[in-house]
Structure 1
Amino acid sequence: MSDDIEDITDAWIKSSASMLGLSIDAAWLPSIRANVEVTFRLAKLVDEFPLPDEAEPAPVFGA
């Protein structure tokens, strides 16, 4: 990952934490960044999954 992307991700993490009133220890930033990167990568997979226009949401979810 490029330094620019890491800087942008770190800035996003810090600003999000600030808006939520959270403090982040600098030692945790690499782990948080890794989690955010995985989350965004998985979100991209979901977003790119093609669904037909007729697709309906499931009426009941079960675990």
Structure 2
Amino acid sequence: MTEPAFDAESHVRAMTASLGLTVEPAWMPEVVAHLAAIRAAAQLVERFALADEAEPAPIFEAGR
């Protein structure tokens, strides 16, 4: 099954309305572009196959 196309601009408009935020019209293309980039990055993470037995890495503590 194919995933429906992601319309970043519609999503930004819906979320700003829902949250009561205002995006200046001059900034809308940049906000939409950033949301689209974030979505693309999230898709890379979601599609990365992990084995069921994979464990999270231990906590990194600098200086040890």
Give me the TM-score of the superposition, normalised by structure 2: 0.73
Give me the TM-score of the superposition, normalised by structure 1: 0.74
The aligned counterpart of 1:46 is 45
Find the aligned partners of 1:49 and 1:9 in 2 and give their Cα distance: 23
Q: What are the residue-to-residue correspondences of 1:1-63 with 2, within 5 Å?
A: 8-62=7-61
Which consecutive unaligned segments of at least 5 residues does structure 2 have? none
Q: 1:19 deviation in Å? A: 1.6
* Cα RMSD for the two superposed structures: 2.1
Task: Determine helix, strand or coil for the equivalent of 2:27.
Answer: helix
Q: Which gives a bigger RCO, structure 1 or 2 (Cα 8 Å, sep 6+)? A: 2
Q: How many residues align?
A: 58
Identity %: 36
Which consecutive unaligned segments of at least 5 residues does structure 1 have? none
Structure with more helix by fraction: 1
